[in-house]
Chains A and B, each alone.
Chain A
Amino acid sequence: MPETATAVREITFGEAIKEAIAEEMRRDPKVVLMGEDVAEAGTTFGVLKGLVDEFGKDRIIDTPISEAGFTGIGVGAAMTGLRPIVDIMFGDFLTIIMDQVANQAAKIHYMSGGHWRVPLVIRATMGATRRSAAQHSQSLHAWPSHIPGLKVVVPSTPYDAKGLFKSAIRDDNPVVIFEHKISYKKVKGPVPEEEYVIPLGVADVKRTGRDLTIIALSSMVQVALGAAKMLEEVGISAEVVDPRTTWPLDEKTLIESVKKTSRCIVMDEGYARYGVAAELAAVVAQGAFYNLDAPVSRLCAMHVPIPFSPSLEDVTVPNERQVVDLALKLCGRS
């Protein structure tokens, strides 16, 4: 976050995304957005409300409920001169579009010997605690992160969301962006009026510290920052690092932080098993091995289908207390 002399206005995570799309659509007539109820409704979450008034229905395009179908159109349109943004209402529907994402979009550049390009953005949501149960609550960002040829953005703040989204639209490769749906209205933050972009593949240190690094993504960044405050009260100084993109991955910043602090917790709202946190933990375990004073540890969603009942769902997502307990243990204080 750049320091500015004047107070920077604060907007929500959802508003930041809408601004990013609007600015890029003004800048480049080849940017179009398509998805279910994206026009007048401005998506189920209302995030894009008003865009259709400025850009019209030729550019903010309502589709049938046909995720694989319109994602496929996005791939073909991206190859032939447009910069489409495909809106996947719930990240859970990644399952439906996976052939277009993993077998088509991701591989076309390579399979064609670098001749065709696929400048496509797929925006999807992630995150539990909306009482939406097992098919509308998952955080599946590990899936595209596994595939060469894709880039994956998982922003945590309005500032990051806007700057990264703009870069994603300008990128000549397929980029999947996971927006945390709870953050749309709940997370507010400073976003300058002036234009800026954030390059993909640059981590951000959200809080500096000495004793422990918490690597966190998306919604978990807020949880990590909350836990860091609690830890400060007991004399443990936690650094919070947000990779912001799972690929490209800024391994250097993560490793340097852990080398400095000697302890690391990796937090993610996706599953731990074979997940993003597993990869990040492996990166720092290898890169900072000789500086480690404790095992690199993960704190992720419970390995269960996301349940419906609030009393069940709430325990599946990591919370500040769990971070603090784990941090105390790693620091030999429990």
Chain B
Amino acid sequence: MSVTAKTKADAAGIGGGIGADRLLHMYRQMVAIRLFEERVNDLYTRALMPGLAHLYIGEEAIAVGVCEALTRQDYITSTHRGHGHCLAKGASPDRMFAELLGKEAGYCKGKGGSMHIADPETGNLGANAIVGGSAGIATGAAFSSKYLKTGHVAVCFFGEGALGQGLLYEELNLAQLWKLPVIFVCENNGYNEYTHFSESTAGDVSARADAFGMANETLDGQNVREVYTVASNYIERARKGDGPAFLQCKTYRYHGHHVGDISRAYYRPKAEEQEWVTQRDPITLHGEWLMANGVVDRAALDFVQETLIKEMDAAVEFAVGSPYPDPDKVDQDIYA
């Protein structure tokens, strides 16, 4: 139960108020993330990518729906599963791939990698490899916005695994107490690494926000129009000075916790995976909706995909061909 009037999300009717350009752009962005992540999977399994790869495939509608409602100057913080957030906020795939491969041309000059992509140009305060660790940073950015009267909103993306971390609750309290323009977006993909969230999470997720008197809503994270519409309302509400919100987006991680997590049967059934992939895929669902509502036809969607495939392949080529940073740079950028 929310403490404020909810935007009643109607899966069938929602999207009617969204312009055709934006509807198509959201499709494009989701496909871009999907194609990006498929290439990450490929690079990783070909041993071209060092470290760890946590794929966002299946959850695209959340990053896209939320970021579509933000301005370029608005802030986000992201997670270890953060490629989708960075791309949705406007990062370029070529510099993203370069960072993932540890190249000098990457967003962080190869010093951050997959779990730490950050970019002041797009308001990306950084992906964070400490679960729940960015809640303070996002709330602090919202604090600055309020203090400096910039009108910027901060979004803190986190997985349901962060619900076990204390810092998150301190920030919920502070954000609500000080009416800060921050939106906490809980991407509930059902699994804390290899453990179903019901085994790690007592009580109701939205009740946590209720306890702080924070506006909140639980939504279908596979429906990009619903995510966009609901997020827009709360983002504009925050921008006006009416305080933070907590959005729980129900979603699913198609792949493992990381690329190497292949044998998953011991913690989740194959049938469950198949059901989400075949019945609840955010890209398929949105594409079908666009066609059914006469926004675009199949050819237009295919064109989007083909164009993006070329772009992504070129981005991979750029990254693979880019040089590694000179070892002499290892001790640069420690201090400003």
Q: Chain A: residues with CB nearer than 8 A to chain B?
A: 30, 32, 58, 63-64, 66, 68-82, 84, 99-100, 103-104, 108-119, 148-149, 151, 172-173
Contacts and interface: CB of A to CB of B under 8 A. Distances in A.
A81 B110 CA distance: 25
Contacts of B157: none
Given A72-B135, A73-B143, A73-B174, 4 more contacts: A69-B174, A73-B171, A79-B137, A116-B120
Interface in B86-136: 106-112, 116, 118-120, 125-126, 128, 130, 133-136
Contacts of A173: 335-336
A18 to B, nearest CB: 22
B141 A79 contact: yes
Interface string B306-336: 0000000000000000000000000011111
B112 A111 contact: yes
A80 B141 contact: yes
B144 A80 contact: yes
Interface string B152-187: 101000000000001100110110010000000000
Q: Which of B110, B116, B335 has the most CB of A within 10 A?
A: B335
B166 A68 contact: yes
B141 to A, nearest CB: 5
B75 interface: yes
Given A79-B125, A100-B136, A103-B130, A111 B118 contact: yes
Contacts of A108: 118, 126
Nearest to B99: A113
30 contacts: A30-B148, A58-B147, A64-B174, A68-B136, A72-B136, A72-B139, A72-B171, A76-B137, A76-B139, A77-B144, A77-B147, A79-B137, A79-B141, A80-B140, A80-B145, A81-B148, A99-B167, A100-B167, A108-B118, A109-B333, A110-B333, A112-B116, A112-B118, A112-B119, A113-B107, A113-B108, A113-B111, A114-B109, A115-B108, A116-B125
A29 B177 CA distance: 23
B136 A71 contact: yes
B112 A112 contact: yes
Contacts of B140: 72-80, 84
Nearest to A107: B116
A36 to B, nearest CB: 13
B138 interface: yes
B133 A111 contact: no
B170 A66 contact: yes
Given A73-B143, A77-B140, A114 B336 contact: yes
Contacts, number: 149
Interface residues of B, number: 47
B317 to A, nearest CB: 22
B148 A82 contact: yes
A115 B120 contact: yes
Contacts of A119: 336
A64 B178 CA distance: 11
Interface in B261-286: none
A81 B136 contact: no
Contacts of B167: 68-69, 72, 99-100
A81 to B, nearest CB: 5
A115 to B, nearest CB: 5
Contact of B333 (A70, A114, A151): A114
A32 B140 CA distance: 12
A20 B133 CA distance: 31
B70 to A, nearest CB: 15
A32 B97 CA distance: 38
Given A63-B174, A76-B143, A104 B334 contact: no
A110 B111 CA distance: 7
A232 B116 CA distance: 57
Contact of B334 (A66, A79, A115, A149): A149
A104 B136 contact: yes
Q: Which of A63, A66, A77 has the most CB of B within 10 A?
A: A77
Contacts of B148: 30, 81-82
A195 B272 CA distance: 68
B272 to A, nearest CB: 33
Contacts of B110: 113
Nearest to A32: B147
B144 A82 contact: yes
A58 B179 CA distance: 13
B144 A76 contact: yes
B130 A104 contact: yes
A116 to B, nearest CB: 6
Contacts of B166: 68
Contacts of B134: 104
Given A82-B144, A109-B334, A113-B107, A104 B112 contact: no
Given A79-B141, A103-B130, A114 B147 contact: no
Nearest to A172: B336
B108 A99 contact: no
Contacts of A30: 148
B141 A76 contact: yes
A161 B144 CA distance: 28
A69 B171 CA distance: 6
Nearest to B129: A103
A80 B116 CA distance: 17
A68 B140 CA distance: 12
Given A100-B136, A104-B130, A116-B118, A149 B173 contact: no
Contacts of A73: 136, 139-140, 143, 171, 174
A115 B118 contact: yes
Contacts of A100: 136, 167
Q: Which of B111, B119, B136, B143 has the most CB of A within 10 A?
A: B136
A21 B145 CA distance: 23
